[in-house]
C-alpha cells in the first residue's frame, strides 16, 4: 500500500471531535521523506477534526514552526523535522500527541 492510499484510508475515518467523557485516540507525529526528493516533512495523523478545522490548526502550527506546510487527505504536513515542537504544541492545545517513528 503506497503513502497516498494510506492517507486516503486515514482520511475516510475522520470524525467530529469526541465528547469530553469518551476516550480519545492518540495523535501521531512522524517524519516522512518518501516521494519528496529526499526532503523531510513532519506528518500529523489521527486528529479527529473536520477539514476546515485541520486547515486552521495547520496554519497555527506553521506559524509556530516558522515554515510551510499543507493538509492532504486529513493529514497535516509541516515542512522540515519539527516533531518535538509539534508534540509540545499539540499537547498544550489539549490533543494527546505522541512522537512516532525513529
Instruction: Report if residue 54 sits inside a domain.
Output: yes
Q: Starting at the earlier edge strand, list the strands of the sheet with 69-72.
A: 69-72, 75-79, 41-45, 27-32, 97-99
Q: Is residue 1 part of a domain?
A: no
> What is the residue range of 85's domain?
39-97
- Mean per-residue pLDDT, 68-86: 94
Once rounded to an integer, what is the mean pLDDT over residues 5-30? 58
* pTM across the whole model: 0.74
Residue 90: inside a domain: yes
pLDDT of residue 1: 54
Q: Output the domain CATH number for residue 47.
A: 3.30.780.10
Q: Does 76 map to a domain? A: yes
Task: Assess if residue 91 is contained within a domain.
Answer: yes
Q: Are 27 and 96 in contact (CB under 8 A)?
A: yes
- Is residue 72 one of the residues assigned to a domain? yes
* Domain assignment present for 25: no
Number of domains composing the chain: 1
Amino acid at each position: 500500500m503506497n503513502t497516498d492510499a494510506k492517507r486516503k484510508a486515514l482520511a475516510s475515518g475522520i470524525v467530529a471531535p469526541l465528547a469530553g467523557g469518551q476516550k480519545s485516540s492518540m495523535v501521531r507525529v512522524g517524519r516522512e521523506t518518501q516521494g519528496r526528493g529526499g526532503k523531510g516533512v513532519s506528518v500529523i495523523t489521527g486528529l479527529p477534526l473536520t477539514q476546515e478545522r485541520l486547515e486552521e490548526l495547520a496554519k497555527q502550527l506553521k506559524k509556530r514552526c516558522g515554515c510551510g506546510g499543507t493538509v492532504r487527505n486529513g493529514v497535516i504536513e509541516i515542512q522540515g523535522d519539527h516533531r518535538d515542537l509539534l508534540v509540545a504544541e499539540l499537547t498544550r492545545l489539549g490533543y494527546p500527541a505522541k512522537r512516532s517513528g525513529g
